[in-house]
Amino acid sequence: MVEYNSAFWSLTFDYFKKDINKSEDNLIVLVHWLLLKNNFQTLGPGNENEIDENEQPTDFLPTNWSQDVTYKLRYVRDKNLFLLNGVRAGDSFIFNFYNVTVKQVSSAALGNVCTTVQAINDMTNNIDYFHKTINLLQTDLIDPMQKENDEKKK
């Protein structure tokens, strides 16, 4: 089970709330928070497969991160590049997380965007669903990348 720090989540969500333009933007903020918790940082938008030496990793989402229909964000951890893609598919939302170095992908699907967004926005009344969602994202999307990195270090 994912260790849940309500203060860190609240700070993250409150900071990015001003940039939320559509309901699925809430899901990007949630995944971004989980990635930060797992020591990933953003490099910016896009699908470029290389890290520019002038790019500085940050904890912030890039400007205009929510302007497109699909989401394409670049993350880095331990000098490895990862690409996060997200797209709405009907009532669901699908994430793919690609480790450029080892060419491995993980995926997670959230079955109902409206229900998940409601849980994010009203955690007091939906805490169990919120925990279920973050555990699914951690287990299906993030943990496979951590195991690959841990095995690579051995």
Q: What is the pLDDT of residues 80-103, one digit of tens each?
A: 999 999 999 999 999 999 999 999
- Kind and range of the H or E element at 99? strand 92-99
Does a structural domain hold residue 101? yes
Does a structural domain hold residue 130? yes
pLDDT at 21: 92
Does a structural domain hold residue 93? yes
- Kind and range of the H or E element at 18? none
Asked if 33 and 49 touch (Cβ cutoff 8 Å), the reply is: no
Does a structural domain hold residue 1? no
pLDDT at 154: 44
Does a structural domain hold residue 92? yes
Q: What is the CATH number of the domain that holds 26?
A: 3.40.1000.30
Does a structural domain hold residue 63? yes
Does a structural domain hold residue 77? yes
Asked if 86 and 136 touch (Cβ cutoff 8 Å), the reply is: no
pLDDT at 142: 96
Asked if 4 and 131 touch (Cβ cutoff 8 Å), the reply is: yes
Give the separation between CA 45 and CA 85, rounded to whole angstroms.
10
- Output the pTM of the full model: 0.90
pLDDT at 153: 47
Name the domain count of the chain: 1
Give the separation between CA 86 and CA 113, rounded to whole angstroms.
12
Domain with 20, as residue range(s), is 6-48+56-153
Query: Positive or negative CA dihedral for 65, 31, 78, 151?
Result: negative
Does a structural domain hold residue 68? yes
Q: What is the pLDDT of residues 115-138, one digit of tens each?
A: 999 999 998 899 999 999 999 999
